[in-house]
């Protein structure tokens, strides 16, 4: 099941458009499974809460981040913001930079996702003093 | 069991040959391969352990500095901190090899070798072709086919101009 992905409209106006799972037959609506479907907002909220835990430990950060990267989506800026703040609480700058690299890699061929994320995260990056991999020259070989 | 979990959280590989006591019944040696390993993978951005386990004095002081504000760290210090935790950056990890050149070269080489073998076979293994391949024979064969009106509607003889005794243009 496809989950929410951060996508940009192609018209130059940067607005956040979510891709929702499409149910193609509005007349005869048939759900194959009766399981409760989690909305995108619930998903985001759950992950923001996970990383916002004040006494999060290194293992939980790693586990959460690796799981999140395992999903078929690029995390929302607010989830990443929460994760970067968790890195700050753990005094782990390297992981913060690694997270930024990972989401850039996760965007794959959609080259416009990463600049959008950085733009949204800019206040947090400045506040916490995190340099992007590009600033450090780590995106080149 | 709890001891090994605690060891893995700390991530120190220096105790790989240490012994953990289990319930006072005996000792179990923790082998190196049983401990969490470091690996660079795209799908696992934060590995279980740091890359550098034994920190030098400079690195230790850098780690202390990391506890303060990150804005005070220079770019070199930030890169150094990254390199303590990780071996390769994503760019380095995803870099392709030049292996494809060897693969193509190998392909051409073996195709060439096969070609040489085939040529050798033609010369030294196979006998002569039958006489039916000679041009004189072929001419007579074509004339016979035209006389028999082979495929006269749309095929062979249809392309022959019987009045002018030549192939149709």
- pLDDT per residue over B118-137, tens digit each? 999 999 999 999 999 999 99
Among A98, A45, A110, A124, smallest CA distance to A72 is for A110
Minimum mean pLDDT among A71-75, B10-14, B157-161: which range? B10-14
Average pLDDT over residues B85-96: 93
Residue that wins the pLDDT comparison between B119 and B96: B119
B67 located within any domain: yes
- B120 & B138 share domain: no
Domain count, chain B: 3
Residue A9 has pLDDT above 60, yes or no: no
Assessment of whether the complete model's pTM goes beyond 0.90? no
Q: Does B10 touch chain A (CB under 8 A)?
A: no
> Within 13 Å and on the Cβ side, how many CA atoms surround A116?
22
Distance CA A133, CA B45 (A): 14
B40 and B89, same domain (yes or no):
yes
Using the Cβ of A99 and the Cβ atoms of chain B, whether some distance falls under 8 Å is answered with: yes
Return d(Cα B45, Cα B87) in angstroms, integer.
12
What pLDDT score does A91 carry?
95
Binary contact (A140, B91; C-beta < 8 A): yes
- Give the model's pLDDT for residue A11: 42
Chain B positions touching A92 (Cβ under 8 A) are 66, 85
pLDDT of A10 strictly over 80:
no
Q: Does the pLDDT at position B145 exceed 50?
A: yes
A133/chain B closest Cα distance in angstroms: 9
Res B114 pLDDT > 70: yes
pLDDT at B27 over 60: yes
What's the domain range around B47? Answer: 35-94
Residues B40 and B74 both lie in one domain: yes
In a domain, B113, yes or no: yes
Give percent above pLDDT 70 in chain A: 78
Residue A91 Cα distances to A39, A98, B47, B68, angstroms:
33, 14, 17, 8
Domains, chain A, with CATH or none? 40-136 (1.25.40.40)
pLDDT at position B17 is 52
Residue B87 and residue B42 share a domain: yes
pLDDT of residue A24 exceeding 80, the answer is: no
Cβ of residue B39 closer than 8 Å to a chain A Cβ: no
Q: How confident is the model at residue A15 (pLDDT cuts 50, 70, 90)?
A: very low
| B31 Rama class: left (phi>0) / alpha (psi -120 to 50) / beta | beta
Contact at 8 Å (CB) between A6 and A116?
A: yes
Q: What is the predicted pLDDT for the residue at B5?
A: 53
Contacts of B75 in chain A (CB under 8 A): 131, 135-137
Percent of chain B with pLDDT strictly greater than 70: 86
For residue A44, give the nearest of A4, A90, A96, A95 by alpha carbon: A4
- Is B86 in the same domain as B103? no
> Are B43 and B84 part of one and the same domain?
yes
For residue B28, give the H/E element and its range: strand B26-29
Average confidence (pLDDT) over B27-37: 86
Facing residue for B71 by CB, picked from A62, A91, A129: A129
pLDDT of residue B1: 53
pLDDT at B32: 84
Task: Tell if the CB–CB gap between B70 and A130 is shorter than 8 Å.
Answer: yes
Alpha carbons B100 and A27: distance in angstroms, whole number: 53
Comparing CA positions, the residue from B98, B2, B15, B101 lying closest to residue B54 is: B15
Q: B64 with B86, same domain? A: yes
Residue A5 has pLDDT above 60, yes or no: no
For A70, the closest of B43, B78, B94 (CB atoms) is B43
Q: Do A105 and B92 touch (CB under 8 A)?
A: no
In a domain, B9, yes or no: no
């Amino acid at each position: 099941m496809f989950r929410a992905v951060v996508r940009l409209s192609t018209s130059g106006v940067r607005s956040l458009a979510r891709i929702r799972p499409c149910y193609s037959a509005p007349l005869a609506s048939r759900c194959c499974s009766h399981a409760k479907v989690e909305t995108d907002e619930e998903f985001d909220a759950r992950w923001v809460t996970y990383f916002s835990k004040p006494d999060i430990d290194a293992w939980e950060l790693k586990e959460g981040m690796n799981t999140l990267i395992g999903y078929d989506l690029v995390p929302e800026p607010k989830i990443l913001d929460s994760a970067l703040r968790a890195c700050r609480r753990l005094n782990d700058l390297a992981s913060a930079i690694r997270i930024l690299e990972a989401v850039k890699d996760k965007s794959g061929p959609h080259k416009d996702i990463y600049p959008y994320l950085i733009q949204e995260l800019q206040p947090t990056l400045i506040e916490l003093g995190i340099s992007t991999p590009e600033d450090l020259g780590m995106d080149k070989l | 069991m709890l001891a090994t979990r605690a060891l893995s959280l700390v991530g120190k590989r220096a105790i790989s040959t240490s012994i953990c006591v289990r319930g006072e019944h005996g000792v179990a040696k923790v082998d190196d391969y049983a401990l969490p390993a470091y690996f660079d993978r795209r799908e696992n951005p934060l590995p279980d352990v740091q890359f550098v386990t034994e920190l030098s004095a400079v690195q230790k002081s850098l780690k202390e500095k990391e506890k303060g504000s990150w804005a005070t760290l220079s770019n070199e210090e930030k890169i150094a901190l990254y390199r303590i935790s990780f071996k390769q950056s994503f760019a380095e990890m995803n870099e392709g090899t030049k292996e494809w050149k060897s693969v193509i070269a190998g392909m051409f080489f073996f195709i060439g070798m096969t070609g040489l073998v085939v040529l050798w076979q033609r010369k030294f293994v196979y006998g002569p072709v039958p006489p039916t391949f000679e041009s004189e024979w072929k001419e007579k064969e074509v004339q016979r086919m035209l006389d028999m009106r082979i495929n006269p509607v749309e095929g062979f003889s249809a392309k022959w101009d019987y009045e002018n005794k030549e192939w149709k243009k």
